[in-house]
Structure formats: structure tokens, C-alpha cells
């Protein structure tokens, strides 16, 4: 998993250097970001890359390491061991060059498991499932640093996940990134 994460970062940096002549600080085409809030609150590392192909549209990809279902906590015999990949199509509107609202339909696939100790036995729930959802938020872009809050709702397509947690998952966060 660490190799995949490292490869994604290297590719993003390589892509930025290859297209450096085509981009400028006034019109960035890519963005790398970190969900700062969930890293602090949950210990979940959520990094992403967004490629703009118009001023108001982009395609995004994210990896969520140490992912959890919603805001469930670990500890006391409960342990999440999951990773997710998320792809999104992002629409920006209702704003100016500095700040805009955005809406993003997305597909997320989570794999891994949740284990918990119940009466001296360990119960394991498979978290392998696809999610379809919608994300919305606000993004500021100041000197190519991008940041802003977002919220997301998704539907998991796994009866095992729905039986243990819920079929609907709510998440929120605060992204901090850099546009280039």
C-alpha cells in the first residue's frame, strides 16, 4: 500500500513538472490536497489529486488510508483496518475566481475489515463495498493554496456493512491543498 501511495505522489509531481510550461499561477490545472480535519480527528489520511479540464469542471481521485465508516471510533476492542479509493466529477459554480461552491458525484470503493471483541470472541465485519454518493462544499483559492469545508453522503452496496453499521454514510472534512 505504501508503494502505491508513493507512486501516486511521484506521478502527480512528474505530471506537474511536465506541464509546467502550459500552466501558470493564474490558471492552475491540477491540485493536490489533504483532508486536514479527518487526519486530526480520526487519524485517517485522505489525500487526493484533482485535474481541471475547464475553469468550472474537474476529475478527482483520492486514497483514504486507515478509513473508517463515518465517524465511528476505534479502541476498546474495536479496530478498523480499511483503505478506500474515490473518484469524482467536480462541478464549480456560484462564485468567483477566489471562492466557489462545488458539487461532486462520486464512486468510492472501500476494502478491509472491522473487528471487535464481544464477550471474549472476535467478530469481524468485511467492509468491502462500493459506494455511490454526492459531495458538496466551498473552496477558496488564495495564491494557489486551496482550502475549504465539504460534506458527503453515500450509499454502500453491501448487506454486511448495512447490517453492522448503516447503508447510508455521512462524512465531512476540511481540505487543504495546493493548485499548480
pLDDT tens for 18-28 read 444 444 456 88
Question: Which of 26-35, 43-52, 83-92, 138-147 has the lowest average pLDDT?
Answer: 26-35
pTM listed for this prediction: 0.82
Q: What is the pLDDT of residues 46-69, one digit of tens each?
A: 999 999 999 899 999 999 999 988
How many Cα atoms are found within 13 Å in the side-chain-facing hemisphere of 118? 6
Helices within the chain (DSSP H only)? 2-18, 36-41, 159-164
Q: What integer best gives the mean pLDDT of the chain?
A: 88
For domain 31-179, give its CATH number from 3.40.190.10, 2.40.160.20, 3.10.20.30, 1.10.3470.10: 2.40.160.20
Cβ–Cβ under 8 Å, residues 46 and 37: no
* Model confidence at 36: pLDDT above 50: yes
Amino acid at each position: 500500500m505504501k508503494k502505491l501511495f508513493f507512486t501516486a505522489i511521484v506521478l502527480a509531481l512528474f505530471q506537474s513538472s511536465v506541464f509546467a510550461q502550459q500552466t501558470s499561477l493564474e490558471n492552475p490545472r491540477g491540485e493536490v490536497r489533504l483532508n486536514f480535519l479527518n487526519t486530526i480527528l480520526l487519524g485517517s489520511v485522505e489525500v487526493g489529486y484533482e485535474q481541471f479540464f475547464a475553469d468550472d469542471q474537474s476529475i478527482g481521485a483520492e486514497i483514504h488510508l486507515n478509513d473508517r465508516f463515518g465517524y465511528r471510533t476505534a479502541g476498546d476492542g474495536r479496530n478498523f483496518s480499511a483503505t478506500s479509493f474515490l473518484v469524482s466529477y467536480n462541478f464549480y459554480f456560484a462564485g468567483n475566481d477566489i471562492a466557489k461552491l462545488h458539487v461532486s458525484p462520486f464512486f468510492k470503493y472501500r476494502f478491509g475489515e472491522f473487528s471487535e471483541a464481544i464477550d471474549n470472541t472476535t467478530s469481524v465485519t468485511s467492509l468491502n463495498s462500493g459506494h455511490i454518493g454526492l459531495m458538496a462544499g466551498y473552496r477558496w483559492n488564495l495564491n494557489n493554496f486551496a482550502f475549504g469545508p465539504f460534506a458527503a453522503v453515500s450509499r454502500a452496496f453491501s448487506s454486511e456493512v448495512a447490517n453492522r453499521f448503516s447503508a447510508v454514510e455521512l462524512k465531512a472534512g476540511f481540505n487543504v491543498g495546493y493548485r499548480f
